[in-house]
C-alpha cells in the first residue's frame, strides 16, 4: 500500500469531514524502521494516521503506515514536501536534517520534539557539552582533532579509552576502544579518521547499564517509566530487564538524572536516557535518544501505556498514559542477525519457534527486507509473575527445552 494513499492524504488533511480517530492530526514520522513500524501499530488502535518518510520502499513501517512517502529524511526539499502533508512532524531516528526542521518551525510547522533537541542530540559531542552545562553527571569527555590531541586525552583519562564519532552513530557503529596509546591510531582509523569528527570519553567503570524512558506531553507534564537494566553485546543492546534489580535509592537517582536531562530539552514525545551505574553508586549519563527506544520495547506487553502509544499521545496533545508496569517482571530479547541471508533467517526462525511455546512470550518480527549480521531483525518480550520465572523462561527458550511448564 506504500504509495497508494499519496494523492488522497493531502486532501484528507484539509478535509472538513468529521474526525473518527482520537486525533485529527496526521502524524508525520521521519524514518520508517522498526520504531516507525511499532508507532504505526500503536496508532492503529487509536485510529491515528501515521505517515512515514523513508527511502526504502519496503521499510518495516511501510506496510502498516497510513501513507509512506519514499524519500530521504536527510534531504531538505523532501522533508519540506513531506511536512506539507502532516499536522505534526516527529522522528524515529535522530539523524535527520535538523536545519530544515528549524526552518520549518520558523514557518509554523509543529515539530515534536523540537528541532533544537534533534540538533543537540544528533551530535554526541554537542549533547555531552549540553548536558554537562546543565549539571548532569556524565563521563569526562574531550574533543580530539589529531593524534596529539588523542594522546593528551589518553594521558588525562587513562586506558582503556573510548573514542566516539560525533555524528551518525548507532548500535555501537561509531565507537572504538583504544586499550593503550599504541592502539590510538588504529582505533581512530577504524572510525574513519579525524575528519569524521571525533571525541573521547573516559572509560565508565559501570557495574550495570540502566535506562529510563521519559515522556513529556504538549502541556509539559513529564512521566518516567520504571528504570530498566540494559545488557549490551558488542555495543549493541541485546537484553532488557524490567524493572532493573537495583536498590530503591539507585532507582530514585536514575529517575532524577533522567528527569533533569529531559527537562533541559524542548518538545513533546518520549525520550530514552541511557545511564551507567558505577560500583560506588554513581549514575552517569551515557546518551539520550529523542524518540522511542529499544530499552522501551518491553512496555508494549508490560506497561499500561506502551512507549509507542505514549509518543503518539504526547505529539498529538492527548493526555499522557500510565507508564507503570501491569506485570511484575519482563525481559526483552533482541533478535540480532547471526549470519547473512538465509542462514541467518533460519537461526532466527528456530528461536521464534521455541518462543511460541513459552508462556508469556510475544514475538515481534520487523520484516526487514535483508538479514545482516548484528542487525536488529525483531525481538521477543517475555513477561511473568517474577523476574526469576521470566529468567527461567528466557533460559528454556535459549536452550530450546520449550516451556518450563511442561
Ligand atoms: P545506540 O544504539 O544506543 O545509539 P551508540 O552507537 O550511540 O548506541 P553508545 O550508546 O555511545 O553507542 O555506546 C554503546 C555501548 O558502549 C554502551 O551502551 C556501553 O555499553 C558502551 N560504552 C559507551 N560509552 C562508554 C564509556 N564511556 N565507557 C565504557 N563503556 C561505554
Ligand atoms: Mg546512540
Ligand atoms: Mg547508546
Query: What is the chain's Cα-based Rg?
Result: 21
Take atom 20 of ligand 1 and give the residue whose Cα is closest.
Answer: 235
Atom of ligand 1 nearest to the CA of 293: 3
User: Which pLDDT value is given to residue 17?
Assistant: 54
Query: Which DSSP symbol is given to 381?
Result: E
Ligand nearest to the CA of 235: 1
Q: What is the dihedral of CA 84, 88, 92, 98, to 10 degrees?
A: 70
Grid coordinates representing 248 are 530503591
Nearest CA to 312 out of 94, 70, 39, 65 is that of 39
Residue 326: cis peptide before it, omega within 30 degrees of 0: no
Q: Which residues pair with 334 in a beta bridge?
A: 379
pLDDT tens over the chain, length 406 residues? 344 444 444 444 445 555 567 888 999 999 999 999 999 999 999 999 999 999 999 999 999 999 999 999 999 999 999 999 999 999 999 999 999 999 999 999 999 999 999 999 999 999 999 999 999 999 999 999 999 999 999 999 999 999 999 999 888 889 999 999 999 999 999 999 999 999 999 999 999 999 999 999 999 999 999 999 999 998 899 999 999 999 999 999 999 999 999 999 999 999 999 999 999 999 999 999 999 999 999 999 999 999 999 999 999 999 999 999 999 999 999 999 999 988 899 999 999 999 999 999 999 999 998 999 999 999 999 999 999 999 999 999 998 654 444 3
Residue 363 DSSP SS3:
strand
- pLDDT value, residue 173: 86
Rounded Cα distance between 374 and 237, Å, is 10
Number of C-beta neighbours around residue 283 at 10 A = 26
- As a whole number of angstroms, the distance between CA 118 and CA 141 comes to 21
Q: Give me 302's grid cell.
A: 508490560
User: Is 62 in contact with 31 (CB distance < 8 Å)?
Assistant: no
Q: How far is the CA of 360 from the centre of ligand 3 (A)?
A: 28
Q: Choose the residue to mutate in 163, 235, 275 for probing ligand 1, maximizing ligand atoms within 8 Å of C-beta.
A: 235
Q: What residue's CA is closest to ligand 1, atom 4? A: 170
Q: Assess whether the C-beta atom of 378 lies below 6 angstroms from ligand 1.
A: no
For ligand 1, whether the C-beta of 304 sits within 6 Å is no
- What pLDDT, on a 0 to 100 scale, did the predictor assign at position 21? 77
ω into 160 cis (within 30 of 0):
yes
Q: Rounded to 5 degrees, what are φ and ψ at 211?
A: -150, 150
Question: What is the per-residue pLDDT for 18?
Answer: 54
Please answer whether residues 73 and 100 qualify as being in contact, where contact means their C-beta atoms are separated by less than 8 angstroms.
no
116-142 core/surface letters (b: 16 or more CB in 10 A; e: else): bbbbbbbbbbebbebbeeeebbbbebb
Q: Any idea what the Cα angle at residue 9 is, between residues 6 and 14, rounded to 5°? A: 150
Q: 116 phi and psi, to 5 degrees?
A: -60, -35
Ligand 1 contact via 232 beta carbon (within 6 Å): yes
Alpha helices by DSSP H, 203-296:
248-263
Cβ-contact 273, 232 below 8 angstroms: no
Query: Cα 286 to the chain's mean position, in Å?
Result: 13
> Using a 6 Å cutoff on CB, does residue 287 contact ligand 1?
yes
> Could you tell me which residues are beta bridge partners of residue 173?
170
Ion ligand 3 nearby residues (CB, 5 A): 274, 287
**Positive/negative CA dihedral, 136, 139, 140, 142:** negative
DSSP states of 189-215 as a string?
HHTT-GGG-EEEEE---EEEEEEEEEE
CA distance linking residue 166 with residue 296, whole number of Å = 24
Q: For strands 27-30 and 88-91, give the pairing.
A: parallel
How many A from CA of 196 to the centre of ligand 3? 19
Instruction: Tell which atom from ligand 1 comes closest to the C-alpha of 171.
Output: 2
| Lookup: cell for 246 | 537495583
Give residue 24's pLDDT. Answer: 85
Atom of ligand 1 nearest to the CA of 232: 20
Parallel, antiparallel or unpaired: strands 161-165 and 175-178 = antiparallel
Q: Say yes or no: CB of residue 290 within 6 Å of ligand 1.
A: no
Q: What is the DSSP letter of 74?
A: T
Indicate the DSSP class of residue 340.
Answer: S
pTM of the shown model: 0.93
Its ipTM equals 0.98
CA gap 162, 4 in Å, rounded: 47
User: 274 CA to middle of ligand 2, Å?
Assistant: 9
Among all chains, which residue has been given the C-alpha cell 505517515? 51
Amino acid at each position: 500500500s506504500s504509495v497508494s494513499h499519496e494523492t488522497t492524504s493531502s486532501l484528507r488533511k484539509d478535509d472538513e469531514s468529521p474526525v473518527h480517530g482520537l486525533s485529527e492530526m496526521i502524524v508525520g514520522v521521519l524514518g520508517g524502521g522498526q520504531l516507525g513500524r511499532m508507532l504505526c501499530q500503536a496508532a492503529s488502535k487509536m485510529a491515528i494516521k501515521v505517515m512515514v518518510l523513508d527511502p526504502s520502499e519496503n521499510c518495516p513501517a511501510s506496510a502498516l503506515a497510513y501513507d509512506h512517502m519514499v524519500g530521504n529524511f536527510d534531504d531538505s526539499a523532501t522533508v519540506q514536501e513531506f511536512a506539507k502533508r502532516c499536522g505534526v512532524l516527529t522522528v524515529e531516528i535522530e539523524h535527520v536534517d535538523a536545519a530544515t526542521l528549524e526552518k520549518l518551525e520558523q514557518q509554523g510547522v509543529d515539530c515534536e520534539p523540537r528541532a533544537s533537541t534533534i540538533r543537540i542530540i544528533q551530535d554526541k559531542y554537542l549533547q555531552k557539552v549540553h548536558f554537562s552545562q546543565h549539571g548532569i553527571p556524565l563521563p569526562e569527555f574531550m574533543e580530539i582533532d589529531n593524534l596529539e590531541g588523542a594522546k593528551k586525552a589518553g594521558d588525562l583519562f587513562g586506558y582503556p579509552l573510548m573514542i566516539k564519532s560525533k555524528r551518525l552513530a548507532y548500535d555501537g557503529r561509531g565507537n572504538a576502544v583504544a586499550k593503550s596509546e599504541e592502539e590510538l591510531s588504529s582505533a581512530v582509523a577504524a572510525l574513519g579518521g579525524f575528519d569524521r569528527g571525533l571525541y573521547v570519553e573516559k572509560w565508565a567503570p559501570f557495574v550495570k547499564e540502566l535506562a529510563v524512558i521519559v515522556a513529556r506531553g504538549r502541556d509539559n507534564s513529564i512521566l518516567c517509566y520504571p528504570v530498566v537494566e540494559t545488557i549490551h553485546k558488542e555495543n549493541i543492546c541485546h537484553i532488557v530487564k524490567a524493572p532493573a534489580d537495583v536498590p530503591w535509592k539507585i532507582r530514585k537517582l536514575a529517575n532524577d538524572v533522567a528527569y533533569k536531562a529531559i527537562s533541559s530539552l524542548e518538545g513533546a514525545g518520549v525520550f530514552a536516557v541511557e545511564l551507567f551505574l558505577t560500583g560506588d553508586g554513581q549514575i552517569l549519563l551515557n546518551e539520550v535518544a529523542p524518540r522511542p527506544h529499544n530499552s522501551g520495547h518491553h512496555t508494549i506487553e508490560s506497561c499500561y501505556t506502551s512507549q509507542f502509544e505514549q509518543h503518539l499521545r504526547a505529539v498529538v496533545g492527548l493526555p499522557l498514559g500510565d507508564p507503570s508496569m501491569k506485570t511484575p517482571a519482563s525481559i526483552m530479547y533482541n533478535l540480532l542477525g547471526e549470519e547473512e541471508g538465509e542462514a541467518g533467517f533460519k537461526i532466527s526462525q528456530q528461536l521464534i519457534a521455541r518462543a511460541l511455546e513459552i508462556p508469556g512470550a510475544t514475538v515481534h518480527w520487523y520484516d526487514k527486507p535483508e538479514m545482516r549480521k548484528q542487525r536488529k531483525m525483531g525481538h521477543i518480550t517475555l513477561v511473568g509473575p517474577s523476574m526469576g520465572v521470566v529468567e527461567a523462561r528466557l533460559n528454556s527458550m535459549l536452550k530450546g527445552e520449550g516451556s518450563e511448564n511442561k
